Amino acid sequence: MDKSAQRRFSEGLLQYLNDSPTAFHAVENAVKLLRDNGFKELAEKEQWSLEQGGRYFVVKNMSCIIAFTVGGGRLEEEGFRIIGAHTDSPCLKIKPGTCTVTPEGYVKANVEIYGGAILSTWFDRPLAVAGRVIVKEDGILKEKLIRIDKPVFILPNLCIHFHREVNDNCSYNKQTEMLPLMTMKEEGMEKEDYLLDLIDKETGIHKEDIWEFELFLYEYQKGIFTGSKEEFISASRIDDLAMVYAGLTALSEAKDSGKPFKVFAAFDNEEVGSASAQGAHSGFLMHILNRICKNLGFTDEAYFRAVANSLAISADTAHAVHPNYSDKHDPENRPVLGGGPVIKYSASQRYSTTALTAACFMEACAKAGVPCQKFVNRNDLAGGSTIGPAISSLTTIPTVDIGIPMLAMHSVREFGAGIDNVYAQQAFRAFYEGGV
């Protein structure tokens, strides 16, 4: 891929990040991308009729999606090639009751913290709101996505004159200090009306029709290229929508080798443990794999053989060495921005990588002509986890945990190198095309 093509891919990624403020929107935009590439939607509740060479996808909860292609080889011998990622990111989620009104007349959004957000990064940034609402129209409950892409909320810092310790390892009370300002109180307005009136005005959905909602605040400023050569990307939700985008485009562009069945899964709720119907700890992936086999006429024995011959990639982001905190990293395994996708290891099985699955991914990288790196936590620092252990334990499919290197993970604004996303997509294509 030449430099102009690399730039176009990075521009496409930025557009995807900017257009996907919530997991719901990430899936909505994934659906658009898949449809544009010949994929057909299947409904869980309906009868399936799969065809050789067909391209399909299934959506769950509007926030989780599994896409797959029907290969031409013997499924029981070739198995599945699976790439998994997640659609959610740490953020501020609006609670029921919507707003709090102070005695001074400030109207604040009543929020809870979703996932392991770096709280300090949410201060003094204009925030917008998006998510889904449940409305009742003609006696029927319907789901609708909304996005009010305006700087409606802000979380102002306390001035240093009242908080002299603010620069000394400051912590924040999640209940009292993390409530973004929305507006000032108006005479005759109830606290429930402020947000619902906003939705009514900006979306055309009548507030009387709204029964419930799942709404999230997100940074209003869009993702951008940065660095003296514009080699970096600064944006929200790089973790893990960068891997969603790489996986989707790799699946869409991969040549049909006539052998492995290709699967891409993007789950919700990874940032809070994956224990949901739309999370990686559900049976959703297993159900889809089993259903593919049964619909194509394979026996249970063939399904179990297919699973045994399958391989999975858990694609999440990885920690690059931070130039200002290099001592936080293992002295021998030190991934850098621009150095290619990172294989992640953990003796405690926080990551699912084994020697064999790591070697398989290294082979895919070699076939794609891209570099790869390795990451292991310092022994005295606890690391995070991914969907990898869930995929490998629930399906028994050997899995490797990888990710693009990045900085500022879980900040409201994360940071990475554009070329790493290109490398990851190329490795994914090689993986799908039978490189391993």
Report the candidate in 436, 428, 87 with the shortest Cα–Cα distance to residue 250. 428
Residues 235, 14 contacting (CB under 8 angstroms):
yes
CA distance linking residue 280 with residue 389, whole number of Å? 9
Residues 265 and 382 reside in one and the same domain: yes
Classify residue 89 by its DSSP letter. -
**Whether pLDDT at 265 is above 80:** yes
Strand bridging mode 91-101 / 210-219: antiparallel
226 assigned to some structural domain: no
Domain containing residue 96: 91-219
For residue 208, name the pLDDT band (cuts at 50, 70, 90).
very high
pLDDT in tens, 65-84: 999 999 887 899 999 999 99
Residues 174 and 320 reside in one and the same domain: no
Lowest mean pLDDT among 233-237, 384-388, 399-403: 384-388
- Tell if the pTM clears 0.85, that is, is over it: yes
Residues 8 and 56 reside in one and the same domain: yes
CA distance linking residue 248 with residue 73, whole number of Å? 22
231 assigned to some structural domain: no
Residues 8 and 108 reside in one and the same domain: no
pLDDT in tens, 51-62: 999 999 999 999
What are the tokens at 405? 């290197």
230 assigned to some structural domain: no
**Whether pLDDT at 435 is above 70:** no
- Tell me whether residue 49 is exposed, middle or buried, using C-beta atoms within 10 angstroms of its C-beta: 0 to 12, 13 to 18, 19 or more: exposed
In this structure, the number of other CB atoms found within 10 A of the CB of residue 200 comes to 16
Residues 214 and 266 reside in one and the same domain: no
Of 158, 192, 219, the last residue of a domain is 219
In this structure, the number of other CB atoms found within 10 A of the CB of residue 52 comes to 9
What are the tokens at 305? 């053989």
Q: What mean pLDDT comes out for the span 304-328?
A: 97
The SS3 call for residue 341 is coil
Strand bridging mode 311-315 / 399-403: parallel
Residues 410 and 351 reside in one and the same domain: yes
List CB contacts of 98: < 8 A, sequence separation 6 or more: 109, 110, 191, 192, 194, 195, 196
The runs of H, that is alpha helices, within 37-84 are 75-78
The count of structural domains within the chain is 2
Residues 145, 28 contacting (CB under 8 angstroms):
yes
